[in-house]
Structure 1
């Protein structure tokens, strides 16, 4: 990094002062991790915006961290293992004497070989501070053990089962409690994706095509703002990939199922432009970051990625709006190249999938039997 850029970043970048980092701690920001030395006091030259601060002790094996929106020139203090509240006068003294800590402050890796800051921006450009406040535990803090509403639902099922067993056996019931330290994802039943009181024809149509549910949730949960939905997809992935917490996996899968299983919505040119085209970029950037073993162990569970992407390809192939179909097919082409080069995956073309579907429907279609 040249001296002028370093000087400018020192003047405009944010600072994070760590008060109690022990030697030998795995400490990092965003996509980078280091081992702390005896003089480590924090980070400097942090670009303004949302960043993920994370740390772990080797013998414990649980990563902890927090997402925080840094302002320009901000000096933030953090205790990794808080015991007593840091007096405001001490915090002010640290901020005013920030230059005195310079030797103990590591620089944000803006000049890394793989441009980790640009990669981080591509993974988080739709995430907002309000999203962090609403969907993450207090202060944006979480660990690799933090739960979510999905685990809560499983616990609730277990509670009902235990209560039922207890009632059947006339024994005291057992109570399971859920932790307040959780991700507050909004979850809907992806299988109940049709309007209340829908006719059998509508139930059949929208059970397969998630367009009605997508538009309903866009209105009720994301204020008709597609960028909020894109940000939530990014946040769920960051929780999995950078946060090493698989509570984000089920929500990430739910959101991709919700969007990529839409057929009717692809005829809405405005929705294609504001949601589906940028979504394909989001997915490309996410898969680009995934190492092969990550994809094999997590992303391929139940052939999920293959299923949702093949459904999208087929839906785009059947799209009647020529202009949007061509735009989407171009994006899918870039995704197809990525999958082939990075993971040796062959994503079929729409015509191939259409032929397979026609054949399967032909084989299992009702047959007319004549009885003499």
Structure 2
């Protein structure tokens, strides 16, 4: 057996031919020669698999470290991907003993200059908490928020029934270990419930109170953890086409583009947020944009944010907003027209994936 290879190595075992396999934002097809991926740099990465472009994509996050070797095995009987200890120690040791044979049949990690920025704030401990048991994610997993909303609706419509015996309700409750535990964000509760008339009027125009509430209750006042979840939502959305992740990502945008007071109090955070968002749009595939984002929503939200930072004369944010607008215009043909004070209607923001 050769010494452990440099960086991180992923070994493929029993992965069927002509599968669509990928790491990070890169995709390639498997064959009977390919044995894995080598020279993966340190840091957060996502491995993902699908039978073809129309199939459900599944995958998992890794925190690559020097000398790591990860074994990925397709269990054809159970029809699921197994990783490392799920495979069994004997089988792992058997594969590791062959790594010198496999190494020349592995592809080099396909470098992406933007990947480090796309994962800059991701906390692997938070990833482990958010993802369901088994730490895997796929295209159809739903969030706790969605399941709770569905449960609440069923409870309200089922008052006359014995809920403890209701198979539909029990099936949803049983998903608690198979759901994505994003931070709960209820956009119907952005106004403080016990506020006076002045505070409630302020909250209707400025989501700073709600932003601070989410930051405290969901992230222990840690701005980087909020950006970590924001980056996870984005990657789960564009890699796995996960609908729940697109909803959560857009919820963050609805809040962060509609604050006023917090911009001045947390200037560094909003500088980082705009940097993250700009690189996310830089990597958005052009044919994906209409699937996830409504142009009217972007126009209204960015225009309101731009109006605020210009009103406060925050030059660092003005420059970043201009860069974002230029990117949206040049890459997607989305032109941000400017703030319209009498337009109070919320544009629809989600279309089916």
Q: TM-score, normalised by structure 2?
A: 0.85
- For the pair 1:317 / 2:310, whether they are aligned, the reply is yes
List per-residue Cα deviations over 1:319-360 (Å, max 9, x = no partner).
Answer: 2xx4xx1111011111111111112222235xxx2xx42x67
Gaps of 5+ in 1: 1-9, 111-116, 362-372
- From 273, 276, 284, the counterpart of 1:279: 273
- For the pair 1:334 / 2:319, whether they are aligned, the reply is no
- The answer to whether the Cα contact below 8 Å between 1:29 and 1:51 also exists between their aligned partners in 2 is yes
- From 6, 12, 15, the counterpart of 1:12: 6
Give the CA deviation at 1:214.
1.4
- The answer to whether the Cα contact below 8 Å between 1:19 and 1:78 also exists between their aligned partners in 2 is yes
- For the pair 1:304 / 2:304, whether they are aligned, the reply is no
Give the CA deviation at 1:284.
0.8
SS of the counterpart of 2:45?
Answer: strand
Aligned twin of 1:261: 258
Give the CA deviation at 1:60.
6.3
Q: Counterparts of 1:158-197 in structure 2 under 5 Å?
A: 158-164=153-159, 175-176=168-169, 177-178=171-172, 179=175, 180-197=177-194
Aligned twin of 1:151: 146
- From 39, 49, 52, the counterpart of 1:45: 39
List per-residue Cα deviations over 1:200-225 (Å, max 9, x = no partner).
Answer: 11011112211112122222221222
Q: Which moved more, 1:327-336 or 1:87-96?
A: 87-96
- The answer to whether the Cα contact below 8 Å between 1:162 and 1:174 also exists between their aligned partners in 2 is no
1:360–1:127: structure 2 CA closer, same or farther, 3 Å change rule? closer
- For the pair 1:242 / 2:242, whether they are aligned, the reply is no
- From 75, 80, 88, the counterpart of 1:81: 75
List per-residue Cα deviations over 1:46-82 (Å, max 9, x = no partner).
Answer: 1111111111112861111111112111011122337
1:360–1:66: structure 2 CA closer, same or farther, 3 Å change rule? closer
- For the pair 1:131 / 2:126, whether they are aligned, the reply is yes
Q: Distance in 2 between matches of 1:68 and 1:216?
A: 31
Q: Counterparts of 1:105-144 in structure 2 under 5 Å?
A: 105-110=106-111, 117-144=112-139
Greater C-alpha radius of gyration: 1
- From 273, 282, 292, the counterpart of 1:288: 282
SS of the counterpart of 2:250?
Answer: helix
Give the CA deviation at 1:127.
0.7
SS of the counterpart of 2:219?
Answer: coil
- For the pair 1:346 / 2:343, whether they are aligned, the reply is no
- For the pair 1:99 / 2:100, whether they are aligned, the reply is yes
Give the CA deviation at 1:89.
3.2
- From 223, 226, 244, the counterpart of 1:226: 223
C-alpha RMSD of matched pairs (Å): 2.4
Gaps of 5+ in 2: 345-353
Number of residue pairs aligned between Structure 1 and Structure 2: 328
Structure with the largest fraction of helix: 1
- For the pair 1:66 / 2:60, whether they are aligned, the reply is yes
List per-residue Cα deviations over 1:281-311 (Å, max 9, x = no partner).
Answer: 111111111223211222117x322222122
Give the CA deviation at 1:12.
2.4
1:87–1:314: structure 2 CA closer, same or farther, 3 Å change rule? same
Give the CA deviation at 1:33.
0.8
Q: Distance in 1 between matches of 2:263 and 2:185?
A: 21
- The answer to whether the Cα contact below 8 Å between 2:299 and 2:337 also exists between their aligned partners in 1 is no
Q: TM-score, normalised by structure 1?
A: 0.81
SS of the counterpart of 1:44?
Answer: strand
SS of the counterpart of 1:147?
Answer: coil
Give the CA deviation at 1:148.
0.8
